[in-house]
Chains A and B, each alone.
Chain A
Amino acid sequence: TVLLALHDRAQQLKITEDRLAVTGEKGYCMVRATHSVNRGNWYFEVTIEEMPDTSATRLGWGQEFANLQAPLGYDKFGYSWRSRKGTRFHESRGKHYSNGYVEGDTLGFLIVLPEQR
């Protein structure tokens, strides 16, 4: 089962017991999930169960060196899809992608990697 990682995250974030929720109040930063891939095609889904109105998320794929003290998509190691306005980000550049997503939405993330490592 894919869960939020307990250690691979910005230390100021709080992970719940069931490791399916994260909260933070000291600036925008990142937590990784427990599973990584390095070849072939992979797909995961996220259902937004709860997102308080002053909160926002950026979800997607991040490589090992993505800066955990910044949002996903801040540097060249991450690709994210933002809840506000549905913008996609890479290297801090936002491009239009979809409408914003909200509680109840299920997002799909596909990554296509070469078979050889």
Chain B
Amino acid sequence: WSAFAPDFKELDENVEYEERESEFDVEDE
């Protein structure tokens, strides 16, 4: 994944990832 990817985000510090309720779902109704 190149740093030129449009949604690549530069970070200066580690960020805690906030999991979504559907994080583990393959399909949702």
Q: Which residues of A contact B (CB under 8 A)?
A: 27-28, 56, 70-71, 74, 84-85, 87, 89, 91-96
User: Is A28 a contact partner of B25 (Cβ separation < 8 A)?
Assistant: no
Report how far A94 CA is from B24 CA in the complex, Å: 11
Report how far A95 CA is from B28 CA in the complex, Å: 7
Q: Which residues of B contact A (CB under 8 A)?
A: 19, 21, 23-29
Report how far A7 CA is from B26 CA in the complex, Å: 29
User: Is B23 a contact partner of A27 (Cβ separation < 8 A)?
Assistant: yes
The chain B residue with its CB closest to the CB of A83 is: B21
Report how far A94 CA is from B22 CA in the complex, Å: 10
Contact status of A93 and B24, CB under 8 A, knowing A27-B19, A28-B19: no
Q: Give the Cβ gap from B29 to chain A, nearest Cβ, in Å.
A: 4
User: Is A28 a contact partner of B21 (Cβ separation < 8 A)?
Assistant: yes
Give chain B residues whose Cβ lies under 8 Å from the Cβ of A28.
Answer: 19, 21, 23-24
User: Is B29 a contact partner of A96 (Cβ separation < 8 A)?
Assistant: yes
User: Is A87 a contact partner of B26 (Cβ separation < 8 A)?
Assistant: no
Report how far A74 CA is from B23 CA in the complex, Å: 10
Give chain B residues whose Cβ lies under 8 Å from the Cβ of A87.
Answer: 28-29
Which residue in A27, A70, A85 is a CB contact (below 8 Å) of B29?
A85
Give chain A residues whose Cβ lies under 8 Å from the Cβ of B27.
Answer: 92-94
Q: Give the Cβ gap from B14 to chain A, nearest Cβ, in Å.
A: 15
Report how far A91 CA is from B29 CA in the complex, Å: 13
Since A28-B21, A56-B21 are in contact, a sample of 4 more A-B pairs with Cβ atoms closer than 8 Å, ordered by chain A residue number, is: A89-B25, A92-B27, A93-B26, A94-B28
